[in-house]
Structure 1
Amino acid sequence: MTAIAMAVLLTACGGGREQTAASACEAAVKAKLANRTFELDLKDLAARAKAETPDTLYLTSQIVFDKGLTSEYRQSVECKVRFENGKEPSVILLQFNWSMDDANKGK
C-alpha cells in the first residue's frame, strides 16, 4: 500500500487533512531523495499546514540531512497538496530551500 493511500486511510480514521497532506509530502520527499538520509517531522509539517484555497494546503517544515553525522545540516522544505473528490491527494509543489552555508558544512 502506498504512503498516499495510507494517508487517505488516516483521514478516514480522524487523521485530518493536515496529516494526510503531510504524509503525501513525505512520500514525495522520499521519492525525490531516494538515495539520501533525512528526517522529516510529520507532526511539525502537519501543524504548519495552511489552507491556500478550499482544496489546497501549503505545508513547510525543516528537513534534517545526515542526522547524527558530522555532515548533518538542516534545510526547509515547502509542499503544496491538492485535494480532489474521489482522488488521492496530489503534491503539486515540492521545493527545498537550500542554504549554501549549511550545504557547505562538513566539507
Structure 2
Amino acid sequence: MRALTMAIAMAVVLTGCGGGREELAAKACESEVRNKLAGRTFELDLADLAAKAKPEQADVLYLSSQIVFDKGLTSEYRQTVECKVRLDPGKEPSVIFLQFNWSMDEIKKN
C-alpha cells in the first residue's frame, strides 16, 4: 500500500512539472517550426498548441494552433500551423508532419 501511495504521489509531481505528452509534442512542433523558419520572427503559443493536442493514433498526437508572423509590425499576418508528433517510449518526440495553412482573410486585407 505504501509503495502504491508513493507511486501515485510521484505521478502527481511529474504531471505538475509539465512533462505530459501534449507539452512534449508542442515543444517538438515548436522546435521544428523554428528550424523551418530560421531568421523569421514569429510567435507560437505553446500552451494553446498543447491544449489543442488530439490523439490520432496510440503513439501520434495531432496539434494545431495559430502562428503570428512579424507581430506588432505593419506586415503582421497569421496562419494556422498543423503538426503531428510520434511519441515512442524511451525516444525523443519526432515530428512526422508539419504544415502552414494560409488564411485568405489576411491576403484580402492587404
| Range of TM-score over shorter length | 0.7 to 0.9
What TM-score does the superposition give when structure 1 sets the normalisation length? Answer: 0.82
1:89 matches 2:78:
no
1:21 matches 2:13:
no
Q: Which residue among 71, 74, 98 is the counterpart of 1:67?
A: 71
CA distance in 1, matches of 2:88, 2:23: 16
1:50 matches 2:54:
yes
**How many matched pairs?**
97
8 Å CA contact 1:75–1:97 kept in 2: the answer is: yes
Per-residue Cα deviation, 1:46-96 (whole angstroms, up to 9, x for no partner): 000000011000000000000000110110000000011221010000000
What TM-score does the superposition give when structure 2 sets the normalisation length? Answer: 0.80
Query: For residue 89 of structure 2, what is the amino acid of its counterpart?
Result: N
Aligned residues: percent identity? 75
8 Å CA contact 1:71–1:105 kept in 2: the answer is: no
Taking a change above 3 Å as real, the CA distance of residues 86 and 78 of structure 1, as seen in their structure-2 partners, is same
8 Å CA contact 1:46–1:59 kept in 2: the answer is: yes
CA distance in 2, matches of 1:84, 1:69: 40
Taking a change above 3 Å as real, the CA distance of residues 14 and 73 of structure 1, as seen in their structure-2 partners, is closer
* Structure with higher helix content: 2
Structure 1 stretches of at least 4 aligned residues deviating more than 3 Å after TM superposition: 103-106
Larger Rg: 2
Query: For residue 73 of structure 1, what is the amino acid of its counterpart?
Result: Y
Query: For residue 90 of structure 2, what is the amino acid of its counterpart?
Result: G
Map 1:6-17 onto structure 2 (within 5 A): 13-17=17-21
CA distance in 2, matches of 1:85, 1:103: 42
